[in-house]
Amino acid sequence: MAMTMREIVLCAALIFVIGVSVLNQTLNSTSSFSTQILQNDQSSLSSTSPSILHLHKQQKQHTQDQTLRLNNLQVIGTHNSYHREVSLPERVHFPTLMANVDPHYEGYYYSHASVHDQLEYQQVRSFEFDAYVDTHGGLFADPLIRRLANMSESDKAHYGLPEDVMRQPGTKVLHIADADVGTICHTLVECLTQVKAWSDAKNGQHVPIPILIEFKKTEPGLEKQGGVVAEDWTVEALDRVDAEIRSVFSDDQLITPDDIRKQAIDNGVVSRINSKKDNITLEEAILAFEQGGGWPTLSSSRGKFFFVMDNEPTHPIQIRDPYRSGNRENLEGRVIFTNSLPGEPDAAFIKRNDPITDNNQHEIQDLVAKGYFIRTRADEPIQMLLKDEVPAMREVALASGAQIVSSDWVGAGVSARYNSDYFVGLPLGRPARCNPINAPKVCEDEYLELLV
């Protein structure tokens, strides 16, 4: 039967209404499904974003590491990093023992955390260890102050001076033999092993760490009171220190004077700075950073260590000359960078502890700009702390651009016992920052060492 025009129109209208209804249901279903997918994607992104963010930071760090050199950084170090102040049983005898040694002995009333805690919680990235020769072992096992204190066995156990360790041959670490002997690690190898253990746990993902060594002898004023007489720092004794360092760190973990010169020579620096020469001094190598020399990049030095000598170039305990003896004016074959003088062949590291006297800050800034690696101090012991003079010295030290700024007071609260809130640290508690004098503009503090 043929449909009338009216019936055709009604059927078409009905089909349209049904179609619209089906379309709306489909769209609603699709929208709900899309929303669920979007929610799932956002949830997935939220759960993985920390990893993605860390990967992004690693990529930024990798790029920055190619440009920056290790001397473009500034870190905080501890002065006498091993030091624990004289114990309560010993303190009654300490002033008498020290009267003819240092009348300002109160300046030794400070202590540092363990090596691990300094690195992990205080963001310390430079250490200083004082070293004494002990060729046969036992020289420092029974200090005068502990004999005078007649310490009980429990006190000896608590304050620690392990006799089995102290009687073994090897370089010992302490402040003043027979008087100020508290230490968190007793031998150089033990101290360095603790540093390496932390580094290994971090898979070497830290900025290069400079370690100062001060070569010490016993004090005549204590020798006269019955204290021990230390052995001399002979060439053989210094050779043993190099060997002890190499017993802890592999060649791949060390940055040595030879590494600096080899890099410069391999990069053709010799012909660029003086075509008449066939060799290069250590100083020439580090100063020629624009010609292919200079300190290594962060990419090639991350996770590594280098050693510098704390003793003055003309120190009464002459260490630099015997260490350079045997045609080693550029420290050939040596592990430690000497504390030298500008213009000397071995000049790469220079110590300027006082950043405030005379024109010292400007001198440090000039040395940093030229390419030298500098250590200064943010404070002196308690005398300046009690006079509230240390904050000004700290700010001058940080602004000097010295790559190492050392302190006795690292971490909030350490000086509270002296009614002071003074401490030293970098902005945001970072372990390193871009050097205020010589870091390129592309340097960003955040990517120097990623905190995880």
Phi, psi of 209 (to 5 degrees): -110, 115
Per DSSP bridges, beta strands 373-377 and 349-351 are parallel
> In whole angstroms, how far apart are CA 28 and each of 12, 15, 24, 242?
24, 20, 6, 77
Residues 6+ away with beta carbon under 8 Å from 64: 298, 442, 443, 444, 447, 448
Where b means 16+ CB within 10 Å and e means fewer, 34-47 reads eeeeeeeeeeeeee
Separation of alpha carbons 435 and 71, rounded Å: 8
Q: Which amino acid is at 94?
A: F
Is 3.30.1490 the CATH classification of the domain at 69-255+296-310+352-447? no
> In whole angstroms, how far apart are CA 294 and each of 284, 359, 377, 402, 434?
9, 26, 24, 16, 17
HEC readout, the chain: CCCCHHHHHHHHHHHHHHHHHHHHHHHHHHHHHHHHHHHHHHHHHHHHHHHHHHHHHHHHHHHHHHHCEHHHEEEEEECCCCECCCCHHHHCCHHHHHCCCCCCHHHHCCCCCCHHHHHHCCCCCCEEEEEECCCCCCCCCCCHHHHHHCCCHHHHHHHCCCHHHHCCCCCEECCECCCECCECCCEHHHHHHHHHHHHHHCCCCCCCEEEEEEECCCCHHHHCCCCCCCCCCCHHHHHHHHHHHHHHCCHHHECCHHHHHHHHHHCCHHHHHCCCCCCCCHHHHHHCCCCCCCCCEHHHHCCCEEEEECCCCCCCCCCHHHHHCCCCCCCCCCCEECECCCCCCCCCEEECCCCCCCCHHHHHHHHHHHCCEEEEECCCCHHHHHCCCHHHHHHHHHHCCCCEEEECCECCCCCHHHCCCCCECCHHHCCCEECCCCCCCCCCHHHCCCCC
Separation of alpha carbons 81 and 395, rounded Å: 21
Phi, psi of 313 (to 5 degrees): -55, -30
Domain boundaries, the chain: 69-255+296-310+352-447
Residue 131: beta bridge partners? Answer: 173, 215
Per DSSP bridges, beta strands 73-78 and 433-434 are antiparallel
Separation of alpha carbons 356 and 362, rounded Å: 9
Provide the pLDDT for residue 120: 98
Separation of alpha carbons 126 and 402, rounded Å: 12
**Which burial class, exposed, middle or buried, applies to 219 when counting CB atoms under 10 A from its CB (0-12, 13-18, 19+)?**
buried
pLDDT tens string 193-246 = 999 999 999 999 999 999 999 999 999 999 999 999 999 999 999 999 999 999
Provide the pLDDT for residue 17: 47
pTM of the model: 0.88
User: Which residues of the chain fall short of a pLDDT of 50?
Assistant: 9, 17, 20, 22-23, 26-27, 29-46
Provide the pLDDT for residue 2: 54
**Among candidates 146, 138, 220, 250, which has minimal Cα distance to 187?**
138
pLDDT tens string 104-126 = 999 999 999 999 999 999 999 99
Provide the pLDDT for residue 98: 96
